[in-house]
Amino acid sequence: MAKTRAFFTQLSVVAAVSLAHVPAVFADAPPIDPDALKRLVHQDCGSCHGLTLKGGLGPDIRPETLTHFDAETLEMMILDGIPDTAMPPWRPLITQEEARWIADYLLTGDAP
């Protein structure tokens, strides 16, 4: 029993030391690239929502049609997709900050 307790204590210390460096890794994340994100919206999102974002396979996502959403809701929809629809999760491909930028861009029609 003492050996098991010692093992888990050591494991906890290793985990704590490892996780202590996580914020430093994310602090070095590249800054938001507005031009690249605009291209992503109009090309990648546009492949379903139409190149002018007026709708296609997916709905119209221009600012005047999104007034019932807030930025946080859109951010989560972008990151996690919409179950049982063609809207895929983008979480594996973009950061939360990029998803927030895209949500703000969709709500205003202009770069935040």
- Residue 48, domain member (yes or no): yes
Instruction: Indicate the DSSP class of residue 40.
Output: I
Tokens 């210390």 belong to 13
- Residue 7, domain member (yes or no): no
Round the CA-based radius of gyration of the chain to a whole number and report it: 20
pTM for the model stands at: 0.73
- Residue 8, domain member (yes or no): no
- Residue 72, domain member (yes or no): yes
SS3 call for 49? helix
Q: Which domain holds residue 45?
A: 30-108
Q: What's the domain count of the chain? A: 1
- Residue 19, domain member (yes or no): no
| CATH label of the domain that carries residue 42 | 1.10.760.10
pLDDT tens digit string along 29-50? Answer: 679 999 999 999 999 999 999 9
SS3 call for 69? coil
Tokens 């996580």 belong to 22
Which residues, in sequence order, are CB contacts of 87 under 8 Å at separation 6+? Answer: 48, 58, 77, 81
Q: Which residue has the higher pLDDT, 14 or 43?
A: 43
